[in-house]
Amino acid sequence: FLSTNNGTSWTAVRKGLTDTVVLSLAIKGTNLFAGTDGGGVFLSTNYGTSWADVSMGLVHDTIFSFAMNDNYLFAGTYNGGVWRRPLSEMITSSVSSEYQPSGFSLKQNYPNPFNESTKIGFSIPTRSFVSLKVFDALGREVSVLASEELSAGTYERHWDAVGLANGVYFYKIDAGSFSETKETHLLR
């Protein structure tokens, strides 16, 4: 729940939060992490209005505690030890609020071709719901890099293709009425 008036009233904020039993919270800038009782780790970049599952690689999904440094989020799990994931894989990096993009854009990933991981940048001129997904050459979805409402700005998402076969992949953004697809190559 979220209160914007010092607790006088509260609003449920659980869109995308598949497990509403929250055992732990952590914050890094404007990024809020929730550890749940069996649902894993979730991230909100809009003060809890919507949540995205960021539990990739997590085997034990009951999260009792968080710790963070400049590079990693650590989660203390029930009966599974500690899980660690780079923050750069989960949180967006936005440029200064002084710069407002004049239009929507999807940048070519860098590096391309790539081995294991690459970065994909995009810009949105107004607050928009952004969907950024990666597909294989047969059109099957292989990764969701964004599925959330974002403020105007320039963003970068990290795509880790560990375990995927060499070949051509496509990444597609849908934001407001804007839609664009670009090609990338995974070479090991």
* Distance between CA atoms of residues 62 and 165, nearest Å: 31
Q: What is the DSSP letter of 110?
A: B
Give the Å distances, CA to CA, from 51 to 48, 129, 175, 186: 7, 12, 17, 29
Please give the chain's pLDDT, 188 residues, in tens: 877 777 788 888 878 888 789 999 998 877 889 999 988 899 988 777 788 888 888 887 899 999 988 888 999 998 888 988 888 888 765 444 445 678 899 999 989 999 888 999 999 988 899 999 999 999 999 999 999 988 888 888 989 888 899 999 999 999 989 999 999 999 97
Amino acid (1-letter code) at residue 139: G
* Amino acid 96: pLDDT: 40
* Distance between CA atoms of residues 93 and 113, nearest Å: 23
Q: What is the DSSP string of 58-94?
A: -SS-BEEEEEE-SSEEEEEESSS-EEEEEGGGTS---
**8 Å CB contact between 105 and 123:** yes
